Structure 1
Amino acid sequence: MSHEFAFERVGIVGLGLMGGSLARALRVLANPPRIVAFNRHRDGAERALAEGEIDAVADSAEEAAGGKDLVIYATPLDVALEMMRDHAAGWGDATVTDVAGLKEPLARVAGELGFAEQFVGSHPMAGGTATGYEASSADLFAGETVFVCGGAAESERIEAVESMWQAMGARVRPIDADAHDRLMVWASHLPQLVSNVLSRAMAEAGLRVEDLGPGGRDLTRLAESSPEMWTSLLDEASEENLRAIESMQDGLDFLRTALSERSLDEVAQLMRATREWRRGQ
């Protein structure tokens, strides 16, 4: 498969970390497209225009999404769902993708709107706790995994979206939307929630960030993430999140019992087993 970029006119809705990085990464391609972008905070879009990362600032999200070959929703999940419903009539023959952390809700809405053949879900496993256009980078996706959920989309559109990510240096991993969302609950949602709860426990114990070593800083890093991004993700996958939390609670209950009974051999066995898992053994 060729990794050449297949679209001439791109509309990006949202120029935060993800959308801004997409604009920057598209701009440095050998055959960059014309990029029109909309951002809720216009100053970010104006800065991208001044830096030459986009060609025009749209006055509305509808304008950015209309009359394009490719439309990218780089917004939180709930915003993307709302905008897809509002913008579908103006898509025409555009291929539509996104960067949200769950894929089934978007695929379902695309189907309800009659655009299942045009929607290709994307989820780049890239980014950090920093937000906003100022945190964006042209190489954010280089070397990172991007899940692509083609679903009922036409094969040519799936290949074009996969090629886009590969042209940015990403590793594409095709996956079913439902399987992706189950995986993300454990690989992304649970670590986020654990980091939040751990940070709260440390704060209540009187610790400051300055008191933490490398391990503590690593485990609490996700506590800096945006609540606005996470609330809609947690709401859409609430049942699976509860199962993940119950599994985590079972582990904490095991540790409480083992430590109260001074069964340190059981704790050591747990540590050995998890060390082997982490090392891929």
Structure 2
Amino acid sequence: MFNRVAIIGLGLIGGSIARMLKKKLQSVHIIAYGRKPESLHNALKEGFIDEVASIDVIDCNNVDLFIVATPVLSSITIINSLLNDPHLKSTALIIDAGSVKQVIIDSVINHKKAHQFVGCHPMAGSEKSGYQFSTHSILTGAWAIITPHQKNKHDDIAAIEKFWEMLECKIHITDAATHDRMVASTSHLPHIVSSALMESFFSTNNGMNPLDMQPFIGKGFKDMTRLAGGSPDMWADIVLLNNANIIAVLDDYVQSLEKVKHIMQKAALHNDRNLLFQYFEEVQSKWNKYHA
């Protein structure tokens, strides 16, 4: 296993990895790089990391594993900078935690050290961001998606599998293109929908001040808009870099909205409750299959 680990970006995911890694392997030496001195020093004081440094100066000497846990655009820059560093050990591996994979792999695939980067995406997170919200339990039972490319070595992929398993993650291996299509539906579209609902709430509220509508807000609305609280920095990168896949599933979602709108209009025109019942029964059946 890796003796010296560098975590670049000590936010929600980077911090959670540090917490779980230290819990599972106390002997590991963790160097954390970030832009927020307070977060770095809090983690150091709490004992989850052993060294802190600015993200602007990354030391590759004697590091066995680099974990890049920053927004995707900055991850691309950092990963390529690490691969270009002459002090990068030939046995060192670099992984990321980004929600878009193809664009990262495309950026490194022609590099002579491309085999040292293994794309990863732990399917864990929260609408909160920052080290202060990190917790080791966020990784327990979460899927860690690994997206190898043609230059990766079997033993390196196996080592990364063992790493995520040690952090109590379940493992799924797929190619980057499939990953990006899948998460467009399961992760990126829900964020767009939540954001649109939040935006709509502030623009169409029957003339009421949204803050005066608190007595009318229940758990359902809070659940549906929770994701809108996510980091704009992270989500701007995700939506820009997985744009085509997200637009494709967004088009399908708009069609679903048009479908239910048509059913509602037809039911009202004919005073036909059964049309609405059939629609909701069909959707409930799909929900039951998903949650079976």
TM over 0.5: yes
Q: 1:31 Cα shift?
A: 5.2
Q: 1:227 Cα shift?
A: 1.0
CA distance, structure 2, for counterparts of residue 61 and residue 98 of structure 1: 17
- 2:279 aligns with 270
Q: Provide the alpha-carbon RMSD of the alignment.
A: 1.8
- Residues 157-214 of structure 1: per-residue CA shift (max 9 Å, x gap): 1111111111111111111111010000000111000011111222221444733212
Q: 1:254 Cα shift?
A: 1.4
For this pair of structures, how many residues does the alignment match?
276
- 2:189 aligns with 190
CA distance, structure 2, for counterparts of residue 277 and residue 259 of structure 1: 20
Alignment counterpart, residue 109 of structure 1, candidates 103, 107, 110: 107
Alignment of 1:62-211 (within 5 A): 62-90=57-85, 91-93=88-90, 94-152=92-150, 153-204=152-203, 205=205, 206=208, 207-208=210-211, 210=214, 211=216
- Residues 75-130 of structure 1: per-residue CA shift (max 9 Å, x gap): 01011011122222223321110100011111112213233311111111111111
* 2:44 aligned with 1:49: yes
CA distance, structure 2, for counterparts of residue 178 and residue 233 of structure 1: 14
Any gaps of 5 or more consecutive residues in structure 2?
A: none
CA distance, structure 2, for counterparts of residue 48 and residue 64 of structure 1: 19
Alpha-carbon contact 2:122-2:143 (below 8 Å) kept: yes
CA distance, structure 2, for counterparts of residue 247 and residue 195 of structure 1: 16
More off after superposition, 87-96 vs 183-192 = 87-96
Alpha-carbon contact 1:125-1:145 (below 8 Å) kept: yes
Amino acid at match of 1:172: I
Alpha-carbon contact 1:26-1:32 (below 8 Å) kept: no
Alpha-carbon contact 1:198-1:220 (below 8 Å) kept: yes
Any gaps of 5 or more consecutive residues in structure 1?
A: 1-5
- 1:3 aligns with none
Query: Secondary structure of the residue that 1:53 maps to in structure 2?
Result: coil
Alpha-carbon contact 2:79-2:94 (below 8 Å) kept: no
CA distance, structure 1, for counterparts of residue 162 and residue 56 of structure 2: 25
CA distance, structure 1, for counterparts of residue 110 and residue 244 of structure 2: 23
- 2:32 aligns with 37
Q: 1:20 Cα shift?
A: 0.7
Identity of aligned residues (%): 28
Alignment CA distance shift 1:31-1:42 (3 Å):
closer
Query: Secondary structure of the residue that 1:245 maps to in structure 2?
Result: helix
More off after superposition, 54-63 vs 182-191 = 54-63
Whose radius of gyration is greater, 1 or 2? 2
CA distance, structure 2, for counterparts of residue 22 and residue 100 of structure 1: 14
Q: 1:59 Cα shift?
A: 3.6
